[in-house]
Structure 1
Amino acid sequence: MNSKLKNIVFRPMVEADISGAMQLVLAENWNQTEEDWRMLLDLNPELCLVATYKDTIIGTVTAMNYKDQVAWIGMMLVSKDFRGLGISKNLLHTIIEKLEGCTSIKLDATAAGIPVYRKLGFLEELKIDRMVVPAFNGKLDNTNKDTVKPLSQADKEELSRLDLKIFGANRMELINALKKRNKAWYIVRDEHMVGYVLGRPGLNFFQIGPLMAETTDDAINLIEIVLKEQVGKSVVIDVLNDQIPFKQRLTALGFTCQRSFVRMYLKDNSFAGSVSKQFLIAGPELG
């Protein structure tokens, strides 16, 4: 047995672990912040796990449980010095066991992770492209922006109905947590909400998403409102691969594809929602 294994402990994450978890984020050059970790802990404390070696954080995994309908596994990180010891396998098996009551378990996998997840029974659903712009130039089309309005507390019920219809599961606790961190917008047609967008600051980029909308034009109007306040800043988005006209507009705005993820599911996919109206995900760790 490797001598390191004797000193590795697997346990629930606590707030004091955030600084150690951030060291793993920094090592991989991911975009999550301390505030992201706090949000994950606040929303699902029992689904945030760490592996430690002599009190140092060497591995993490989290999950978001959306009312036992869909759960999202994310933040699977293992220190490079401790890879090949079965740490990620242990964390993953433990988090899946904790999600036994969930109808569907999902994750957004990198190319390296796909073979691992296939062995566990995960099936592929769709592809997601990460697109970035290092410094947004501010060249926007101002058409129809008068129909885009800031979200308020009074819009909560209509937002909940729209997101449930398009995303497919109830994730309003997440939506409310994200709304507190930055401005949020929705678009109106015939006096009804037909789309919305959220965003938040990240470690390296401002992340836009989720973005749900009835049409591509609605989605473009929404993202351009957000981009208007990000001129000169770095922006990242995770866009569904099949949203071709939307991606063409993003390319015209200066975005380029950085890498791709594959959305995978375990057990069941009955809460997939209306995929054609899903444009940007909230993030690979959130869905």
Structure 2
Amino acid sequence: MVGTVRTMKPDDVASAMELSIAANWNQTPEDWYRIMQLSPGGCRCIEDGGKIVASASLLPFGMQLAWIGMVLTRPEYRRQGLARRLMEDAIATAERSSIRALKLDATDEGRPLYESLGFVVEEVVERWGRDSGEFLAAQEKPDLGGDDSSKVCAALLAQDRAAFGVDRGELLEALSAAGRCNASENGYALSRPGRVARYVGPCVANSEEEARRLVAAHLDVEARDHCHWYWDLLPANPGAVRVATRFGFTCRRSLWRMRRGESIKNNDAMVYAIAGFELG
């Protein structure tokens, strides 16, 4: 029997992974655990017969914004209102916490549900990819300049706040620990393992050339493994599109970035890669 909405536990992750694999998502078990650590009680689920059949996550960034992600339902349980129950639960939790805005990245299939709950479209977000073995013949070796860091410092956190709109320092620290970080005084780029492809992002920089240089360092180090890559970007920043194209990436799919509540002032021109559909 389908149960009520409850908080997901670490022991549930193996079952939850079955949902993301069925949807062909790139998340790993570590991605689920990370959200649980950053937002205790933020991963919610519905189970049936001891297995997770639907999920959603809520990741607050202070009281100004929270990000909704991991909205998944097993194929055989769809059209039963489970995603709506989880979304209503997330909205109620945010309202109890006086969080002023909610955001998420929606597929075409999910958009009508979110619109019915008061979300409005802000912009398009795109997934770009590069398959193993697809390298530009002219891909240059990165000029690291000798001053890159493996940590996002306080000055870069201020730059990230201007780009994203709110402080997400804890998330950036966790993502840095999970993968690689290249940072300079003008920006940073992170990458981490995924289930089917290595993921580049987030990347925030004060110029297209700096973003290109920082991302090139990740692609060069991992090139020996000939791995697949995903890169999620905002096409509102044409510089991000140019950099991704230069490195042989192509657009694979489009989603809708949606908001419920107050507008958040941010700067897309500084965002060359987002952190992930489930993270913002």
CA 1:106 to 1:215, structure 2 compared with 1: closer, same or farther past 3 Å?
A: same
Pair 1:258-2:257 in alignment? no
Pair 1:132-2:129 in alignment? yes
Q: Percent same amino acid at aligned positions?
A: 30
1:119 to 116, 121, 131: 116
Pair 1:202-2:200 in alignment? no
Q: Name the structure 1 match of 2:107.
A: 110
Q: Name the structure 2 match of 1:274.
A: 267
Q: Name the structure 1 match of 2:171.
A: 174
CA 1:248 to 1:8, structure 2 compared with 1: closer, same or farther past 3 Å?
A: same
Pair 1:248-2:263 in alignment? no
Q: Give, in angstroms, the shift of residue 245 of structure 1.
A: 3.7
Pair 1:56-2:51 in alignment? yes
Q: Name the structure 2 match of 1:146.
A: 145
TM-score (norm 2): 0.93
My pick for the range that moved more, 132-141 or 73-82, is 132-141
Unaligned regions of 5+ residues in structure 2, if any? none
Q: Name the structure 2 match of 1:3.
A: none
My pick for the range that moved more, 168-177 or 115-124, is 115-124
Q: Name the structure 2 match of 1:212.
A: 204
**Distance in 2 between residues matched to 1:36 and 1:73, nearest whole Å:** 14
**Distance in 1 between residues matched to 2:107 and 2:216, nearest whole Å:** 28
Q: Give, in angstroms, the shift of residue 142 of structure 1.
A: 3.9
Runs of 4+ aligned residues of structure 1 deviating over 3 Å after TM superposition are 142-145
Write out per-residue CA displacement over residues 5-63 of structure 1, whole angstroms, 9 at most, x where no aligned residue. Answer: x5323210000000000011111111000100110111112111010012111011001
Q: Name the structure 1 match of 2:213.
A: 221
**Distance in 1 between residues matched to 2:279 and 2:265, nearest whole Å:** 14
CA-atom RMSD in angstroms: 1.6
Q: Give, in angstroms, the shift of residue 251 of structure 1.
A: 2.1
Write out per-residue CA displacement over residues 47-82 of structure 1, whole angstroms, 9 at most, x where no aligned residue. Answer: 110100121110110011001111100000001111
**Distance in 2 between residues matched to 1:166 and 1:245, nearest whole Å:** 14
CA 1:109 to 1:52, structure 2 compared with 1: closer, same or farther past 3 Å?
A: same
Write out per-residue CA displacement over residues 171-198 of structure 1, whole angstroms, 9 at most, x where no aligned residue. Answer: 11111111111220113xxxxx221111
CA 1:273 to 1:147, structure 2 compared with 1: closer, same or farther past 3 Å?
A: farther
Pair 1:73-2:72 in alignment? no
Instruction: Give the partner amino acid of 1:28.
Output: A
CA 1:111 to 1:158, structure 2 compared with 1: closer, same or farther past 3 Å?
A: same
Q: Give, in angstroms, the shift of residue 143 of structure 1.
A: 6.2
Q: Give, in angstroms, the shift of residue 144 of structure 1.
A: 4.6
8 Å CA contact 1:69–1:103 kept in 2: the answer is: yes
CA 1:118 to 1:148, structure 2 compared with 1: closer, same or farther past 3 Å?
A: farther
My pick for the range that moved more, 88-97 or 238-247, is 238-247
Instruction: Give the partner amino acid of 2:159.
Output: L
**Distance in 2 between residues matched to 1:106 and 1:273, nearest whole Å:** 13
Write out per-residue CA displacement over residues 110-142 of structure 1, whole angstroms, 9 at most, x where no aligned residue. Answer: 111122211111111111110000114275234
